[in-house]
Structure 1
Amino acid sequence: MTESGSPSERIAAELRRRIVVGELAPGARLPSTRRITREWGVAMATATKVLNRLREEGLVRAVPGVGTVVAGKPEPAVGRARQSQPAPQRPSREVPQQTAHGDGRLLAEPAGARRVGAGGERDLTRERIVVTAVRVADEEGLAALSMRRVATELGVATMSLYRHVPSKDELLRFMMDMAFGEQPLPEPPASDWREGLETVARLQWRIYRRHPWLASTMSFTRPVLAPDAALHTERSMAVLAERGLSWEEMAQTAVALAAFVCGLAVHFEREAQAEQDSGLSADEWMERVDDEDHERLMANPEQFPMFDALNRGPEIDMSLEALFEFGMARMLDGVGSVIERRGDG
């Protein structure tokens, strides 16, 4: 895309030009995402996409503890060609096109053109709007999502979207429902209550991992009425039926387990952003925690005896996956104890 493209494409083109002409030499550090946001007045997600594009093109690379640096100077002809062509899309994050089923649900169709294209507003549908919005959120984060941005991606006027989607809140509801509908619950339901609850929890975990923005849109005090998301609560209560629990206990169990999964999944998007900002993975960051802070914490074993003992023991897995597995198992243990007490009663 040319200079008339999206903000991330225009900024990437300018940084690409600086690399080509030698203003940024091999090994030189590129502006950080925070500096890009200040210099160009864009969102953090847009700045992240800029650096991602340049990494995909092989022009820059992330160096732990340093940031993003120029990998090498391309040939001028290659540089000019890259400025005039769209940056390659990341296939691992691509969301397939969707079509409407007879009952209104969105179903995947073969990957193809990702924008409305020549048809413009004539071919605009709610389904295309939602698919485009999900792609933007998947690739750049929820902060980059707006009705205007979606309209730009589709090549239509912003106001035309409102004929199909009344508001951004409604758009988020449709996006949420599409995300949950992509991976339906297995049929038939498990006959064992524990297996049934674990199946629902693991499916939610996979959905949140596929769409890192999704967890931050969920609310358990003001829930959004999204049918495909509500089916998860329905299934969780159904596998608990006839186990001696009250309706209140079944509902609270289903919601508490979903809230636990969602609460951990919120960190998917946060970690992705932190890794882009710092150039460090979570493990690398932990290894480079400021030595003075670490020493200050460990220097007083009387005040922090548990931390002192922990530091002297074997390495412990504190990844999100490990916390999910441990927390889910302990919650299901608790549900099992309640069911046993009801049976004894």
Structure 2
Amino acid sequence: MVATAVRIADEEGLAGVTMRRVAAAFGVATMSLYGGVGGKGALVLAMIDVAMADAVPSGVRTSAGWRQRLDLGARTQWAAYRLHPWLAEVISLTQAQPVPSLVRFGEWNLAALARSGLDPVARFDVHLLICNYVRGLAINLSAEERLLADSGLDPDSFAGEPNPVLHSMMRDYPALAAAGDYPFDLDRLFAFGLDRLLDGVAPLTSGGAGGSPAPPR
């Protein structure tokens, strides 16, 4: 049932996920769906759990440095958003959500920082900043899909579609015009920003820029 809702959201966006639509796709009455998942809010939380399940890294040496582990966690999180563009819209930074896979992901990030030399509050700050950096950039994925669907173009044509009005406006703004044909790519921008964010954390840790764990005390 939850997998059906995730599939609908992946194909049609979050707006396509209604209790009636999911029930029809699953082949049950709408009221029986309410009895099974407890309402739309509970269904969305269950969808988050399924979509984020693969975002929790595994198989990495616990001796790996904090930077290597946080980098891997952020990249698996980004991959989940790439696979499920609607996901960033329903994950909250300000409201705790009782979702098992989100709890496991938080544990992964905080455990990665356990021997970084940062105090517990700073570790949680870093965890939230990285998670929200990835989520904030991923918000653009669903908007990009909607624009692409509305344009009727294939992805390559859409990306290269010129905007003569914008080009005309930029003639009066030389700093913007100097950017020329900026190679806009969300994956490239994600990787660049993640590296800069981790660079900023490094001087605060006892391991320094290398990201090696601090020796046991």
Q: Which interval holds the TM-score relative to the shorter structure?
A: 0.7 to 0.9
* One-letter amino acid matched to 1:165: V
Partner of 1:149: 21
Q: Which protein has greater RCO, CA pairs closer than 8 Å, 6+ apart?
A: 2
Distance verdict in 2 for CA 1:183–1:331, change over 3 Å:
closer
Q: Is the 8 A contact 2:70 2:109 kept in 1?
A: yes
Query: Which structure is larger by alpha-carbon Rg, 1 or 2?
Result: 1
* Percent of matched pairs sharing the same residue: 37
SS of structure 2 residue aligned to 1:162:
helix
2:49 to 177, 180, 191: 177
Provide the C-alpha distance between the structure 1 equivalents of 2:77 and 2:168, rounded to a whole number of angstroms: 39
Question: Which structure 1 residue ranges, 4+ long, deviate > 6 Å from structure 2?
Answer: none
Matches within 5 A, 1:220-259: 220-259=93-132
* One-letter amino acid matched to 1:150: V
1:160 to 22, 28, 32: 32
Q: Of Structure 1 and Structure 2, which has the larger fraction of its residues in strand?
A: 1
Q: Tell me the alpha carbon deviations over residues 85-134 of structure 1, each in whole angstroms, 9 at most, x when there is no partner.
A: xxxxxxxxxxxxxxxxxxxxxxxxxxxxxxxxxxxxxxxxxxxx211111
Partner of 2:66: 193
Q: Tell me the alpha carbon deviations over residues 198-254 of structure 1, each in whole angstroms, 9 at most, x when there is no partner.
A: 010011011111111111111101131211112111111111112221111100101
Shift of 1:170: 0.4
* One-letter amino acid matched to 2:175: M
Q: Is the 8 A contact 1:193 1:240 kept in 2?
A: yes
Q: Tell me the alpha carbon deviations over residues 173-208 of structure 1, each in whole angstroms, 9 at most, x when there is no partner.
A: 111111122454213444211100001001101111
Provide the C-alpha distance between the structure 2 equivalents of 1:262 and 1:189, rounded to a whole number of angstroms: 26
Distance verdict in 2 for CA 1:273–1:308, change over 3 Å:
closer
SS of structure 1 residue aligned to 2:95:
coil
Between the two proteins, the alignment pairs up a number of residues equal to 208
Q: Is the 8 A contact 2:55 2:105 kept in 1?
A: no
Partner of 2:85: 212
Provide the C-alpha distance between the structure 1 equivalents of 2:136 and 2:107, rounded to a whole number of angstroms: 20
Q: Does 1:321 align with 2:187?
A: yes
SS of structure 2 residue aligned to 1:269:
helix
Q: Does 1:306 align with 2:175?
A: yes
Unaligned runs of 5+ in 1: 1-128
Unaligned runs of 5+ in 2: 209-213
Q: Is the 8 A contact 2:56 2:73 kept in 1?
A: no
Provide the C-alpha distance between the structure 2 equivalents of 1:327 and 1:279, rounded to a whole number of angstroms: 31
Shift of 1:142: 0.5
Q: Tell me the alpha carbon deviations over residues 125-156 of structure 1, each in whole angstroms, 9 at most, x when there is no partner.
A: xxxx2111111111111000011111111222
Partner of 2:211: none
Partner of 1:275: 148
Distance verdict in 2 for CA 1:308–1:184, change over 3 Å:
closer
Q: Tell me the alpha carbon deviations over residues 63-86 of structure 1, each in whole angstroms, 9 at most, x when there is no partner.
A: xxxxxxxxxxxxxxxxxxxxxxxx
Shift of 1:282: 6.2
Matches within 5 A, 1:112-151: 129-151=1-23
Partner of 1:111: none
Q: Does 1:263 align with 2:136?
A: yes
Give the TM-score normalised by the residue count of structure 2.
0.87
* One-letter amino acid matched to 1:332: L
Q: Is the 8 A contact 1:201 1:257 kept in 2?
A: yes
Give the TM-score normalised by the residue count of structure 1.
0.56
Q: What do you get for the CA RMSD once the two structures are aligned?
A: 2.1
Provide the C-alpha distance between the structure 1 equivalents of 2:15 and 2:206, rounded to a whole number of angstroms: 46
* One-letter amino acid matched to 1:149: R
Provide the C-alpha distance between the structure 1 equivalents of 2:33 and 2:161, rounded to a whole number of angstroms: 47
Q: Is the 8 A contact 1:189 1:239 kept in 2?
A: no
